[in-house]
């Protein structure tokens, strides 16, 4: 194989154009006349001018060859020999053994074979070789980092087992790349032991960022098997209904068959460990069907449900867990002036018919607000009342603990100046618009959760309610979620601590507006309460690998929080920092989140399922994967080893000297020839 020490010098070959140009420059010097068509001129025979040709072709060739040889000589060509390349194969290796521990490795005998392959690789390590053992599924974890100790590697391998995660190649390859990049050893290798599921690469986040050090050899070991057919039960979906004052759920789930033959599957629904219903379902080849069970009453909190199908080659995807709890109603107190029931009529009625969430409405006066009304998660609606300093202080505490406050500023509303930090703006003077054209709502912030349900066209007409008066606010230039068409704020928001405050600058009865009898009133008020109560239904289950926020169970009548711990299905304890910690799910089953000091029934249970996509065992061709990582097809990449010695290099490059001699000879011949031609 030929190469050049100074390949840039080859651009000098452009100099070859010089003699050619000199030859041609003596051609037509006449001016050129552009003419539309030579159709007629061509027909006229002419003899006038003879085209000049390149004369003395031999002379030109001699000059060109000589120039080319000189350029090549300066580019210092050399011949690369295979013996040189072969010499680079020796040297100590840095090996990264990547072992797939996703749950699909538990299919049939895959894990045994994968572990044997890894053990084999460890035993083949040379005396100077270093190896790392990286276990990967959703994420990658270096069990052993760059070690020469084989027994350490073997014991780490023996301790490994397939988990509940899904295959993702990119994190493992990135980790291996960084480990290899740190190594000073001359040869770098990656041994990738996996069942090479297509989804592991196709849906791997960050797969475009995988960078391996130069000359890394990637060797795939594919662990595939033609095992028994595999059927997967998908995560359950729950549909809530209410019957006889009790929550009921309708459980349904999909069943996917990854086999080429149809499958008959019996799906068992278990609640709190007891099988209560069974449904038979037929799933076509490479198809899916769904099963729906009869409604189940949710009698208590954290009911643990599971859907199971019969055993097949892959056990983990044969069960799908979920958690069901009765929906807890939102406690809402409507506070108005004593004996002013008429004012709260619309509010109480509008909220009493809420389903998700249900709202327990109680009516209070400013004096009769109980401590029970001020629990975190509750909502207080101040319907046109004058707030005393004492009440403002209580409300301040309530909101910062996570409560929701709705202030409707009618003609009687007032707010103490000392506590004005709690609300976005203090209601000030009354603006009367009872004469002339009534006001309407002009601008709504549809991206806000309160108005989001009205965002789509024909989802509620906020321009129809008319307003005859409103309260101006201080300061007037505050950010508003809704404004009247004269620009004055209609709805204001402020977040304090964990709670939220909304201020409505008109009334919630027919005193100042006809909004309560318009269709948008009901959804608007329910949406506002849902937002203030921070209501969100917990998902029935999550997928292993997800990081889910966990609200810590509360201790009653106590503002202090004890330590919150999640008990994993395996029994391991995971400590959650902070009040609303986040929990990364790593196992399949139920996580029990408890807080020290909180009652047992206040715990939170999370259901964690394996990624159903992992059950699709369709493999990717390892060559395709390696081509995607390295940009080259095949297991091995080009390897360049230790530099050859200076003598060997000089020997390999000596050819330039011969080229120069040949060029000199040619130039001499050219001189002789041109002399003879010019004499002739």
Partner 1 sequence: MQRTTSSGALAGARFVDPVVLARIGNLELVARSVVNGFINGLHRSPYFGASVDFAEHRGYTPGDDIRRVDWRLFARTDRFYVKEYEADSNANFAVLLDASKSMGFGSRGITKLEYGKLLAGCLTYLVHRQRDRVGLVVFDDAIVEHVPPSAKHMDVVLHVLDRVAPRRPGRLGPPLKALAEHFSRRGLLVLISDLYEDPQDVLEAISPLRFRGHDLIVFHVLDPAEIEFTYDDASAFEDLETGEQIPVVPEALAEQYRTLVREHTEALAAKCAELRVDYTLVNTSTPLDLVLFNYLSARERLTRVR
Task: Tell me which residues touch partner 1 (CB under 8 A).
Answer: 28, 30-44, 46, 48-49, 51
**Of 285, 290, 323, which Cα lies nearest the Cα of 306?**
323
Minimum CB separation from partner 1 for residue 44, in Å? 5
Dihedral sign, Cα of residue 174, residue 177, residue 183, residue 188: positive
Backbone angles phi, psi at 333, to 5 degrees: -110, 125
**Minimal distance, residue 57 CB to partner 1, in Å:** 23
Query: Which residue bears the tokens 């209904």?
Result: 241
Q: Is the peptide bond before 193 cis (omega within 30 degrees of 0)?
A: no
Q: Which of 647, 555, 666, 652 is nearest to 600 (CA)?
A: 555
Identify which of residues 46 and 243 has a Cβ nearer to partner 1 in the complex. 46
Q: CA 593 from chain center: how many Å?
A: 26
In the complex, least distance from residue 26 CB atom to partner 1, rounded to whole angstroms = 15
Whichever of 34 and 477 has its CB closer to partner 1, that residue is: 34
CB of 38 to partner 1, least distance (A): 4
User: Which C-beta is closer to partner 1: that of 31 or that of 458?
Assistant: 31
Q: Which of 615, 634, 610, 614 is nearest to 623 (CA)?
A: 634
Buried b (16+ CB within 10 A) or exposed e, 139-170: ebebbbebeeeeeebbebbeebebbbbbbbbb
Name the helix (H) or strand (E) containing 442: strand 441-444
Specify the residue, 31 or 559, whose C-beta has the smaller distance to partner 1.
31
221 bridge partner residues? 193
Number of residues assigned to the chain: 680
Question: CB of 477: closest distance to partner 1 in angstroms?
Answer: 52
Closest CB 169 distance from partner 1, rounded Å: 52
Which are the contacts of 45, defined by CB distance < 8 A and separation ≥ 6?
Answer: none
Identify which of residues 43 and 573 has a Cβ nearer to partner 1 in the complex. 43
**CB 21, min distance to partner 1, A:** 19
| DSSP secondary structure letters along 217-248 | EEEEEE-----S--EEEPPPEEEEEEETTEEE
Q: Which is nearer to partner 1, 30 or 570 (CB)?
A: 30
Min dist CB 27 to partner 1, Å, is 10
Distance CA 211, CA 208 (A): 8
Toward partner 1, which CB reaches closer, 35 or 243? 35
To 10 degrees, what angle do helices 17-24 and 57-74 make?
160
Residue with tokens 């000049």: 52
In the complex with partner 1, which residue's Cβ is closer, 54 or 285?
54
Looking at the Cβ atoms of 30 and 434, the one nearer to partner 1 is 30
Task: Give the helix/strand (H/E) hosting 305.
Answer: strand 303-308
In angstroms, give the least distance from the CB of 350 to partner 1: 58
The nearer residue to partner 1, 24 or 285, going by C-beta atoms, is 24
C-alpha atoms less than 13 angstroms from C-alpha of 294 in its C-beta half-sphere: 4
621, HSE (Cβ side, Cα atoms, 13 Å): 7
How many CB atoms sit inside 10 A of residue 536's CB? 9
301 three-state secondary structure:
coil
Looking at beta carbons only, is 34 or 244 nearer to partner 1?
Answer: 34
53 vs 573, beta carbon nearer partner 1: 53
**Collapsing DSSP states into helix, strand and coil, what is residue 508?**
coil
- Cβ proximity to partner 1: between 38 and 437 the closer is 38
Q: Which residues contact 340 (CB under 8 A, 6 or more apart)?
A: 384
Going across the sheet that includes 319-324, the strands are: 274-283, 263-271, 303-308, 319-324
Question: Concatenated DSSP letters for 522-568?
Answer: HHHHHHHHHHHTT--PPPS-EETT-EEE-PPPPPTT------EEEE-
Q: Write phi, then psi, for 595 (nearest 5 degrees).
A: -120, 135
Report the residue number, 44 or 339, with the smaller CB distance to partner 1.
44
Rg of the chain over all Cα atoms, to the nearest angstrom: 40
């Amino acid at each position: 194989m030929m190469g050049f020490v100074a390949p840039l010098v080859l651009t000098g070959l452009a100099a070859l154009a010089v003699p050619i140009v000199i030859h041609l420059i003596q051609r037509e010097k006449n001016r050129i006349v552009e003419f539309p068509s030579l159709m007629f001129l061509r027909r006229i025979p002419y003899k006038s001018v003879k085209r000049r040709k390149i004369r003395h072709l031999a002379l030109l060739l001699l000059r060109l060859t000589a120039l080319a040889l000189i350029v090549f000589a300066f580019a210092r060509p050399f011949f690369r020999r295979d013996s040189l390349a072969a010499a680079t194969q020796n040297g100590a290796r840095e090996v990264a053994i990547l072992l797939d521990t996703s749950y699909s490795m538990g299919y049939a005998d895959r894990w045994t074979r994968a572990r044997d392959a890894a053990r084999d690789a460890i035993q083949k390590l040379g005396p100077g070789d270093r190896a790392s053992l990286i276990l990967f599924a959703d994420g990658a974890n270096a069990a052993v980092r760059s070690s020469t100790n084989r027994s350490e590697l073997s014991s780490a391998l023996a301790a490994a087992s397939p988990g509940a995660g899904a295959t993702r190649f990119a994190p493992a390859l990135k980790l291996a790349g960084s480990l290899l990049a740190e190594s000073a050893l001359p040869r770098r290798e990656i041994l990738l032991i996996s069942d090479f599921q297509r989804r592991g690469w196709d849906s791997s986040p960050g797969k475009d960022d995988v960078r391996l050090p130069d000359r890394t050899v990637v060797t795939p070991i594919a662990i595939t098997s033609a095992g028994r057919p595999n059927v997967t039960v998908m995560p359950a979906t729950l549909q809530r209904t209410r019957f006889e004052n009790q929550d009921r759920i309708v459980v349904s789930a999909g069943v996917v068959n990854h086999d080429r033959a149809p499958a008959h599957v019996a799906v068992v629904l278990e609640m709190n460990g007891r099988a209560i219903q069974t449904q038979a379902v037929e799933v076509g080849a490479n198809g899916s069907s769904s099963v729906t069970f009869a409604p189940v009453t949710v009698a208590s909190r954290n009911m643990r449900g599971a859907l199971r199908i019969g055993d097949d080659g892959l056990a983990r995807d044969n069960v799908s867990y979920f958690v069901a709890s009765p929906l807890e109603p939102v406690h809402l107190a409507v506070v108005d002036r004593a004996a002013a029931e008429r004012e709260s009529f619309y509010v109480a009625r509008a909220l009493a018919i809420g389903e998700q969430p249900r709202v327990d409405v109680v009516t209070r006066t400013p004096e009769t607000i109980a401590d029970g009304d001020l629990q975190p998660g509750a909502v207080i609606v101040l319907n046109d009342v004058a707030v005393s300093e004492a009440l403002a202080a209580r409300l301040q505490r309530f909101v910062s603990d996570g409560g929701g406050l709705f202030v409707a500023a009618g003609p009687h509303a007032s707010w103490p100046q000392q506590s004005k930090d709690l609300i976005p703006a203090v209601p000030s003077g009354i603006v009367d618009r009872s004469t002339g054209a009534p006001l309407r709502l002009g601008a709504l912030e549809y991206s806000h959760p309160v108005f989001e349900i009205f965002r789509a066209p024909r989802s509620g007409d906020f321009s129809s309610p008319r307003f005859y008066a409103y309260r101006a606010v201080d300061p007037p230039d505050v950010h508003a979620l809704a404004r009247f068409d004269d620009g004055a704020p209609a709805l204001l928001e402020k977040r304090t601590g964990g709670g939220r405050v909304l201020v409505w600058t008109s009334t919630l009865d027919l005193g100042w507006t006809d909004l309560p009898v318009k269709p948008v009133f009901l959804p608007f008020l329910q949406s506002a309460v849902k937002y203030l109560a921070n209501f969100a239904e917990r998902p029935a289950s999550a997928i292993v690998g997800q990081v889910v926020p966990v609200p810590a169970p509360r201790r009653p009548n106590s503002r202090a929080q004890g330590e919150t711990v999640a008990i994993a299905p395996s029994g391991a304890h995971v400590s959650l920092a902070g009040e609303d910690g986040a929990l990364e799910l790593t196992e399949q089953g139920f996580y029990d989140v408890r807080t020290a000091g909180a009652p047992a029934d206040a715990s939170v249970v999370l259901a964690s399922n394996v990624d159903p996509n992992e059950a699709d065992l369709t493999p990717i061709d390892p060559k395709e994967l390696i081509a995607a990582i390295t940009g080259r097809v095949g297991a091995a990449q080009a390897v360049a080893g230790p530099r050859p010695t200076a003598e060997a290099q000089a020997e390999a490059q000596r050819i330039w000297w011969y080229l120069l001699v040949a060029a000199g000879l040619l130039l001499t011949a050219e001189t002789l020839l041109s002399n003879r031609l010019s004499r002739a």
